[in-house]
Chain A
């Protein structure tokens, strides 16, 4: 099996884990791991700007928000898995047929 994707994914995991160990024990209360989008919003509000429009609807709680984020990721993941799985199946089917043909010839 090709090891390259595994190595790359391990690298991804390391890059994501480093900040977690670096600031271990620090949380939102200490101002860590907040979202950059929100931080920009705060920086803008500090200049005295008042947003002139509010979202029509906001997830009523963090739980609902995580539900919708999980849903977003799930929709994406299922499409990727379906299509690439289908390609993979086609590929191995093709290889099987080729092997059969070659087998007969020999």
Chain B
């Protein structure tokens, strides 16, 4: 999903920066608010960022015969909301742009938009939606992470087709979707599975923090009554 340095006309670079900056700024204020209110959420914030660090460094082979990497943006989005995930994604993308020449400073705004905004918003909405229809939080986090990952790549394909509609937007879109979105399908499933593993482990050890973040409802109390008593 990294659009390489210099690979977007400057007007588009500016355009995506203008969209990304307010979201990241809002995300920073959200982090301040959440950690002021519940300081015990800080370690989980670090874990969400770290999860993104690990997953986006793993380039995995796909059945299409090319390699790509997961994004790790679903976990942070579900735990802390999409704006906070934007901030975490920005940190990862700056690290990769400066040290690894993956992505770039000129294309940072565009890459934040795909990995830090569209992906997390999708993940967050999917999780909320699945909770609303009453399915379990593990199923919710699986589809949230899967779609957060996949839509990040669909967004990159869309961004590139908008910037390079050659010969037409439609044809360019198909071309970039073949490169990004097909390759990403198995990797999105991998990301979904890995996110379920870490999420369930967190849920097992510290359901109290997840409850404070309103990630899981208090009806979960039936699962582990002894833990709830402690929180009370």
**Interface residues, chain A, CB within 8 Å of chain B?**
4-5, 8-9, 11-12, 15-16, 18-20, 22-23, 26, 31-41, 43-44, 47, 49, 51-59, 65, 68-70, 72-73, 75-80, 83-84, 86-88, 90-91, 94, 98
Contacts and interface: CB of A to CB of B under 8 A. Distances in A.
**4 A-B pairs with least C-beta separation:** A76-B53, A51-B6, A76-B54, A53-B6
Contacts of A72: 53-54, 56-57, 95-96, 100
Given A35-B68, A79-B47, A5 B197 contact: yes
Nearest to A36: B68
Contacts of A51: 4-7
5 contacts: A15-B186, A40-B3, A40-B180, A52-B10, A69-B100
A79 B72 CA distance: 15
B164 interface: yes
Nearest to A80: B50
B214 to A, nearest CB: 19
A8 B197 contact: yes
B193 A8 contact: yes
A32 B63 CA distance: 10
Given A12-B194, A54-B6, A44 B65 contact: no
B52 interface: yes
A83 B49 CA distance: 12
Given A43-B179, A54-B6, A37 B101 contact: no
Nearest to A32: B65
A80 B65 contact: no
B175 interface: yes
Interface string B40-55: 0001101101111111
Interface string B74-109: 000000000000000000000111111111111000
A86 B66 contact: no
A69 to B, nearest CB: 5
Given A79-B46, A83-B46, 10 more contacts: A8-B193, A26-B65, A37-B3, A37-B68, A51-B4, A54-B6, A83-B43, A86-B43, A88-B205, A94-B230
Interface of B: 1-7, 9-10, 43-44, 46-47, 49-68, 95-106, 153, 156, 160, 164, 166, 175-176, 179-180, 183-184, 186, 189-190, 193-194, 196-198, 200-202, 205-206, 226, 230
A5 B226 CA distance: 23
A20 B61 contact: yes
B7 A84 contact: no
A76 B65 contact: no
Contacts of B5: 51, 53-55
A20 B3 CA distance: 26
A96 to B, nearest CB: 13
Contact of A84 (B67, B105, B196, B202): B202
Given A73-B54, A76-B50, A47 B200 contact: no
Nearest to A84: B201
